[in-house]
Structure 1
Amino acid sequence: MTDEMTDAARRARRLAAVAQAARQHGVEMDTATGLRCAPEAVPSTAALADWARGQGLWARGVRLSFRQLARARREAPIVLLLADGGAALAVAADPARGLAWLRDPEAPGEEPVAVDELRLSHAWTGEALLLRRAREAPAEEQPFDLGWVMRLVLGERRMLRDIALASLALSLLAVVPALLTSTILDRVIARHAWSTLELVAALLVITVGIEALLGHARRELLQVLSTRVDAKLNLHVFDRLLALPLGYFERHPAGEVNHQVAQIFKVRAFLTGRLMTTALDAATLLVLLPLLLLLQPLLTGVVVLCAGLIALATAAFLPAMRRAQGRVIQAEMAKHALMVETVHGIRAIKSLALEGTRREAWDARVAAAGHAQLAAGRLGSWPVTVTLPLERFIDRGVLALAAGLVLAGSAEIQVGALVAFTMLSGRLAAPLLGLARLTGDLEEARMAVRHVAEVLNNPTETQAMQGGLRPAIQGEIAFEAVTFTYPGARRPALDGISFRVPAGAMLGLVGRSGSGKSTVTRLLQGIDREYAGAVRIDGTDAKEINLGHLRRNLGIVLQDNILLRGTVRDNILAGRPGLTAEDAARAARLAGAEEFIERLPRGFETLIEEGSANLSGGQRQRLAIARAIAGEPRVLILDEATSALDPESEAVVNANLARLAEGRTMVIVSHRLSSLVGCDLIAVLDQGRLVDIAPHALLLERCEIYRQLWMQQNRHIMQEAGSRTLAAE
């Protein structure tokens, strides 16, 4: 490779190399998704591995020597990431002769080239990517439960090992001050041993210094562990939410979903906080319990017995606490859902003066949440009240019991040993009490996991996005006896409809509200796939086409489009890496948006505010059309796309329809029949059935429903024509 190779060429070679290796495992990877796999110009090994895992493969970035490369088992070529930013495929190697056979990823048909070890060492630093089919469901697709989160934490083995070693060392150091205190009381003071006191003091200073350093190191490791787990959880939750089908979000309020998902951070706090701390403190038991049993088995047994009674008392309250906590979560979820709904709908609330109504609803939900929290808090205070005497007995009663045993003559304990035992028993009681109370925290974590799982464990679109065919789409659409019923509906939204639209044609969809027009577009997009019959694109069943590939070849403009916060250019080119400012200008021109963009304060660099408050409805709609056609989709769907436009803007868009339709199939849903007159075919739907499909003129002659709709919308024109006829007579 030459030094003149551009970053785009390097990126293309690396993506092509991974795609070629994946093909050997029967996985077709879409380089369009690879363009988004990393923010850097040339994808790193980690970014390429993430891209491959996202396509359903097992992938790992490694560093190999030439001998390791030669001995590697080859189910498929190994991707070598070269020093100049390019890539090659290693298909074979011979360590005895010092040769490796490399293939150009962008020329898969050519014969591999033999390269000696010395020459390869100049071009390759040892960085490679290993690929194979995943033998089990990837972690991202496994059911979410407490075990899944535990495995995530246990995946940080090295860090957990270092934390455990630090905790064990701290446990050993915890014994030293108590033993030194015993020595001071029993030997130094009794015998006036100054030299021993100096040695003990030096040991205490050294012990405290080491304990401070080890404690700081353990806290640092715990913080890093918590941050890493938190980051992985954030990434997993967001990826899983994006993988959920649109239908799930349509059936569940955004506030409810958001609140349920937020419970995952309670789980993280439990695992890396209370559970981790208790488990580490429990390491103290390994050191202290044998020592205390050796010193005073009876008193040690009393401490352990009290901790066991605390655990039993806490467990007795768990069922009631679980129910109370469930009511708190439900009340908080309802409150949060109302808050999010209010923020999203604030424009309508202000316009309709609904502040008072919303305030009353908010007051009611706040009151319900407050009552639930108060009841849970009161119930939660009872275990503390019941177990407090036992805790105090461990702290103070054991000392009194020991003194009583000494006075009764049943035990002979020196003062120093008694003080040492008291000090150590306090350290022993802390992890025992922590273990006793851990059951309550565990139940709370399980409940949080259950609420998160109600969202994340729903069926996702991941398999449909990873697998399937990626044919070159031309735009022919065919529905063959398609029947579809929405979940919970009594009658089908589409009932055995069949029609065919040639590639490059314009199809209009008309009918009364609820006739199934938008459902047709949803099935085309793969939003709903549980239908009978077949939806075919260029003769291929849409269910067999990779969902991401299908949607990238569709341009969608809805009645109510959402623009993301960012510049006008960013919104037009959203999700399409490789497109330029010229592409954005061309798309804006076709959509009739260029003229108003030029009048904006900063043109294409104007920042769109949240909710697109600085744009009119017509401007938003034209930008949405520009965004839909920027990627040159083969099929363009306009679902009531001009309904929000003023007559002038609608006229601009309609005038551009011929240019928009050039080279692509168009599906236009509209209540305004005048905008569909120029369509090649118009499908008339009624109660989920296809009544007729034909051009406008033919439908006026033979379709009663279409003729009625046309006359209703154009009555004034017909009346004016009739008046002119009478005047002429």
Structure 2
Amino acid sequence: MATEDKPGLPELQAARRKGRGLLFWAFVFSIFVNILMLTGPLYMLQVYDRVLASKSVETLVALSLLVTMLYALMAVLDYARGRVMARIGARFQTALDARVFRATLQRSANPHDRPACTAVLRDLDALQNLFVSPVLTAIMDMPWTPLFIAAIFIFHPVLGWVALAGALIIVVLALLNQVVTAYRVRMSQIATQRAHAFAEQAHEASEVALSQGMRDSLQTRYKRLRNLALRESMNANDWTGIFTSLTKAFRLFLQSAILGLGAYFVLQGELTPGSMIAGSILLGRALAPVEQAMGNWPVLQRARAGWKTLERFLSAVPLPEDRTELPVPGSLLQANGVTIMPPGAKKPTVRSVSFTLEPGHALGIIGKSGSGKSSLARVLTGYWPMAAGEVRLGGATLNQYDPMHLGRHIGYLPQTVSLFAGTISENIRRMSLESDSKGVVEAAKQANAHEMIMQLPNGYDTYLDGNENQLSGGQRQRIALARALYGDPVLLILDEPNSMLDAEGSDALNQTVKRFKERGKAVIITTHRPAAIAECDMLIVLDKGSVVALGPRDEVLAKTIADPRKPRLATARPGKSNKVAM
């Protein structure tokens, strides 16, 4: 298949090329390491054939000192080769870390893809682990196997042919190992990933699991998945173990066979004792890389599977196109015929929605649960793609903006609030590494969260461990609102912004919306609570994904109250108490 059909392949190849220079030096070190591997056989040859024959202690001492220095040099070179290989793996991972992480964020828009997003990060780790494992150095040593076998031919042709036949048998065992175990290893990996994905889901929903008595049921399901993964893993390991054990036993037998056959030729006067011992050692050294590679074969198989998965994953999430950086847009928002098909869904949840939101105005989107309010909010932020239609901000369609720049222009408060591990200040400034105390405090004041934050033990420097329970739901929502307001966006999209707020918090939210409008900015609020639309100028009523009412707030409310078939809210007036009438 052509490279053009695999968009992710060039990225992986480019990352691999990052370590090409270091790989050259690893090969250079391998050359000298394998040459120094001849130290043992040559030393044995000299001791048996020269030292014992001459009974010279001086020769023995000189040879021993030389061998000591050579082995020390080999240790240094082998250590250097290992360090170089580790850095090749680090360069490979560094080249792809940001790209893979960004791709996982994009694919996470589809809930069905989230387990795969977590797994693909482990695939990248598997590729990095390949470089630090012994399997690659063993592969580098394999080209020296013919040289060592050729040296055995020099000692005696029969020994050489036996060594060559044994090496071919071990290679056949290695190929059979690949054919027989590849499918089983892949099934083991899939089963393990499913178990990990279920465990992550259970941890994320631990509050519900423990409070609703689901612990034993979840534990039983997890145990079944783990048992399946263990069975698949043991099956794969058993087959791999068979070939590994066969290879090891056959290599030891072959060394003994060479030794025994060499002894016969010594008795026949066709071989010296030193050559007999050296031949056995050389054979062991010639076959060691193959045995080592087979022992670490699961690492290689895991890396190969990870390479293919990454290739498919990156192909599915191509690099974003370079876009001309547009100036800060105006607050005019236009939606024309917007139809939404959520990622992974088979039918649209929102159909042909059109409206225009002028600067300095607020638009409320109301409707029953499941009517498409949150789906529309996600599309208006650029998080979800549209199946049809277009959305323009400041006259330009959303896809004309770079996603990073668009996120600065649109403040978004999702229905489910997520905070990250870091201080409150870092969360408000959207986890930026650059300190901006002035901007953070200003955003918190706009969200009417400043006083609440100051009452915490360490104020803005209070450390949050993600979505832990240190803060109440209302406090997290107000901090998330401050995050949405950070950076002076031109459009504010609030999805159920008062779902966790008390009366005081709802009033503060309305004040925030009012001030935002007074600055000539636009606001969109999706809600089913009347208090949230007190500052809305326009209303859209959604029912089953379609617009059933659109216009000034009071007129729309009057129509929905008069028509019992439509979702209704009591008339919402600023400063008045409002009740839901469904």
TM above 0.5, yes or no, is yes
- SS of match in other structure, 1:399: helix
- SS of match in other structure, 1:626: helix
- SS of match in other structure, 1:474: coil
C-alpha contact (below 8 Å) 1:510/1:673 kept by paired residues: no
Q: Please give the alpha-carbon distance, in whole angstroms, between the structure 2 residues aligned to 1:247 and 1:273.
A: 31
- SS of match in other structure, 1:678: coil
Deviation at 1:424, TM superposition (A): 1.9
In the TM superposition, 1:10-159 aligns within 5 A as 143-144=8-9, 148=12, 152-159=15-22
Q: Please give the alpha-carbon distance, in whole angstroms, between the structure 1 residues aligned to 2:199 and 2:502.
A: 33
Q: Which residue of 2 aligns with 1:402?
A: 262
Q: Which residue of 2 aligns with 1:274?
A: 134
Change (3 A) 1:717 1:643: closer
C-alpha contact (below 8 Å) 1:255/1:341 kept by paired residues: no
Change (3 A) 1:577 1:171: closer
Letter in 2 for 1:169: F
Letter in 1 for 2:49: D
Is it true that 1:656 corresponds to 2:535 in the alignment?
Answer: no
Q: Please give the alpha-carbon distance, in whole angstroms, between the structure 1 residues aligned to 2:213 and 2:492.
A: 39
Q: Please give the alpha-carbon distance, in whole angstroms, between the structure 1 residues aligned to 2:297 and 2:459.
A: 60
User: Aligned residues, how many?
Assistant: 571
Q: Which residue of 2 aligns with 1:243?
A: 103
In the TM superposition, 1:262-661 aligns within 5 A as 262-282=122-142, 284-285=144-145, 287-405=147-265, 409=268, 412-434=270-292, 442-460=300-318, 462-464=319-321, 466-575=322-431, 580-661=436-517
Aligned equivalent of 2:29, options 149, 154, 166: 166
TM-score of the two chains, using structure 2 as the length reference? 0.88
Change (3 A) 1:305 1:634: same
Deviation at 1:401, TM superposition (A): 2.0
C-alpha contact (below 8 Å) 2:185/2:298 kept by paired residues: no
Deviation at 1:669, TM superposition (A): 0.6
Quote the RMSD (CA, aligned, Å). 3.1
Q: Which residue of 1 aligns with 2:89?
A: 229
Q: Please give the alpha-carbon distance, in whole angstroms, between the structure 2 residues aligned to 1:187 and 1:425.
A: 22
C-alpha contact (below 8 Å) 2:423/2:463 kept by paired residues: yes
Q: Please give the alpha-carbon distance, in whole angstroms, between the structure 2 residues aligned to 1:449 and 1:171.
A: 29
Letter in 1 for 2:251: E
Change (3 A) 1:440 1:600: closer
Q: Please give the alpha-carbon distance, in whole angstroms, between the structure 2 residues aligned to 1:271 and 1:181.
A: 34
- SS of match in other structure, 1:574: coil
Change (3 A) 1:480 1:207: same
Change (3 A) 1:671 1:490: same
Deviation at 1:609, TM superposition (A): 3.2
Change (3 A) 1:594 1:645: same
Deviation at 1:342, TM superposition (A): 2.0
Change (3 A) 1:142 1:332: same
Change (3 A) 1:467 1:199: farther
Is it true that 1:185 corresponds to 2:48 in the alignment?
Answer: yes
Deviation at 1:713, TM superposition (A): 8.9
Q: Which moved further from structure 2: 248-257 or 591-600? A: 248-257
Deviation at 1:225, TM superposition (A): 3.3
Q: Which residue of 2 aligns with 1:672?
A: 529
C-alpha contact (below 8 Å) 2:248/2:291 kept by paired residues: no
Q: Which residue of 2 aligns with 1:33?
A: none
Q: Which runs of 5+ in 2 are unaligned?
A: none
User: What per-residue deviation string (whole Å, max 9, x for no partner) do you get for residues 86-143 of structure 1?
Assistant: xxxxxxxxxxxxxxxxxxxxxxxxxxxxxxxxxxxxxxxxxxxxxxxxxx99xxx951
Q: Please give the alpha-carbon distance, in whole angstroms, between the structure 2 residues aligned to 1:180 and 1:319.
A: 40
Letter in 2 for 1:427: R
C-alpha contact (below 8 Å) 2:412/2:484 kept by paired residues: yes
Q: Please give the alpha-carbon distance, in whole angstroms, between the structure 2 residues aligned to 1:302 and 1:175.
A: 20
- SS of match in other structure, 1:473: coil
C-alpha contact (below 8 Å) 1:171/1:287 kept by paired residues: no
C-alpha contact (below 8 Å) 1:587/1:626 kept by paired residues: yes
Aligned equivalent of 2:549, options 692, 711, 721: 692
Q: Please give the alpha-carbon distance, in whole angstroms, between the structure 1 residues aligned to 2:278 and 2:542.
A: 88
C-alpha contact (below 8 Å) 1:293/1:300 kept by paired residues: yes
Deviation at 1:463, TM superposition (A): 1.2
Deviation at 1:309, TM superposition (A): 1.1
Task: Name the % identity.
Answer: 24
User: What per-residue deviation string (whole Å, max 9, x for no partner) do you get for residues 174-211 of structure 1?
Assistant: 3244234323322332344x2xx524532331232133
Letter in 2 for 1:581: S
- SS of match in other structure, 1:709: coil
Q: Please give the alpha-carbon distance, in whole angstroms, between the structure 2 residues aligned to 1:658 and 1:352.
A: 41
User: What per-residue deviation string (whole Å, max 9, x for no partner) do you get for residues 407-447 of structure 1?
Assistant: 5x5x7112222222222222222234446778776444322
- SS of match in other structure, 1:208: helix
Q: Please give the alpha-carbon distance, in whole angstroms, between the structure 2 residues aligned to 1:335 and 1:441.
A: 20
Q: Which residue of 2 aligns with 1:123?
A: none
Letter in 1 for 2:405: H
C-alpha contact (below 8 Å) 1:282/1:431 kept by paired residues: yes
Deviation at 1:336, TM superposition (A): 0.9
Letter in 1 for 2:29: A
C-alpha contact (below 8 Å) 2:332/2:357 kept by paired residues: yes
Q: Which runs of 5+ in 1 are unaligned?
A: 1-135, 720-729
Q: Please give the alpha-carbon distance, in whole angstroms, between the structure 2 residues aligned to 1:344 and 1:644.
A: 20
User: What per-residue deviation string (whole Å, max 9, x for no partner) do you get for residues 576-609 of structure 1?
Assistant: 5767323322222221212222221122222223
- SS of match in other structure, 2:133: helix
Deviation at 1:678, TM superposition (A): 3.0
Q: Which moved further from structure 2: 346-355 or 620-629? A: 346-355
Letter in 1 for 2:185: Q
Give the structure, 1 or 2, with the largest relative contact order (CA under 8 Å, sep 6 or more): 2
Letter in 1 for 2:255: D
Q: Please give the alpha-carbon distance, in whole angstroms, between the structure 2 residues aligned to 1:630 and 1:267.
A: 39
Deviation at 1:367, TM superposition (A): 1.8
Q: Which moved further from structure 2: 559-568 or 697-706? A: 697-706
C-alpha contact (below 8 Å) 1:612/1:620 kept by paired residues: no
Q: Which residue of 2 aligns with 1:8?
A: none
Q: Please give the alpha-carbon distance, in whole angstroms, between the structure 1 residues aligned to 2:148 and 2:457.
A: 72
Change (3 A) 1:510 1:230: same
- SS of match in other structure, 1:496: strand
Q: Which moved further from structure 2: 387-396 or 520-529? A: 387-396
Deviation at 1:708, TM superposition (A): 4.8
Q: Which residue of 2 aligns with 1:77?
A: none
Deviation at 1:685, TM superposition (A): 1.8
Letter in 1 for 2:47: I
- SS of match in other structure, 1:263: helix
User: What per-residue deviation string (whole Å, max 9, x for no partner) do you get for residues 377-422 of structure 1?
Assistant: 2222322344455222222011112333455x5x711222222222
